[in-house]
Amino acid sequence: MRVFPQQQISSANQSTIQHVASLDTSNPSAQPQRGKREPCRFDWVESPSNKWIHLALWWWIQPILSLGNRRSLIDDDFSDISMNDKCSVLLIKADYDISKWPGTWNVIRQTFMKDFFETMATILVYTATRIAQPLLIRELIVYISNASNLPTYIGYVSAVGLESTSRNSDSQYIKLCNLSTFNED
């Protein structure tokens, strides 16, 4: 996460205040007079300080919502894209020539099918190890209690199987956590 220095935060806040003050509220068709976009408000809210209330209550987006309530929004009304934006990765994946558009479902399928199958395979292996662990523990308990006259190798195979499912379960859990955070760094 990119952290804004305090000077940039105050200048972003000042430009937002100046922009809102430059709007003529009595005339809904008044256009803002500025040459460049203001920085992303969401980056300002994510900076490390006591701005969590702004994030929780969506106050960071309030100026654009109130402006949109007064008049039709134009391109200059919106903030710049966040420096932390990761949507460009998906845009590059789904970049098609509009004249050769294959259809929405085909684009979704081509864009996310590999990720879908990778996630499903990971979940399937994780679920299989979660089911196998109690069964292997039961087999070890039966072997240790010597309730049945099982050969010695059954105990060793059960112990090695339990250890490998434990390692596999841990690695699959870590992989699932990494998939859920969607890190693209």
Unique residue bearing structure tokens 């932390």 = 84
Average pLDDT over residues 99-112: 77
Check the CA dihedral 73-41-24-22 and report its sign. negative
Average pLDDT over residues 41-57: 66
What six digits make up the tokens of 67? 């402006």
State how far the Cα of 154 lies from the Cα of 143, in Å rounded to an integer: 8
Q: What is the pLDDT of residue 20?
A: 42
Q: What is the pLDDT of residue 6?
A: 38
State how far the Cα of 164 lies from the Cα of 143, in Å rounded to an integer: 18
Confidence band for 8, pLDDT divided at 50, 70 and 90: very low
Which comes out higher in pLDDT, residue 100 or 15?
100
Unique residue bearing structure tokens 């085909």 = 106
State how far the Cα of 55 lies from the Cα of 42, in Å rounded to an integer: 8
Lowest mean pLDDT of 105-114, 129-138, 163-172, name the range: 105-114
171 backbone dihedrals φ, ψ, rounded to 5°: -65, -35
Which amino acid is residue 97, in one-letter code?
A: D
Q: What is the pLDDT of residue 116?
A: 87
Q: What is the pLDDT of residue 67?
A: 84
Q: What is the pLDDT of residue 185?
A: 45
Q: What is the pLDDT of residue 56?
A: 72
Q: Is 103 left (phi over 0), alpha (psi -120 to 50) or beta?
A: left
Unique residue bearing structure tokens 């809102």 = 20
State how far the Cα of 18 lies from the Cα of 29, in Å rounded to an integer: 18
Q: What percent of the chain has pLDDT over 70?
A: 58
State how far the Cα of 174 lies from the Cα of 41, in Å rounded to an integer: 33
3-class SS of residue 74: coil
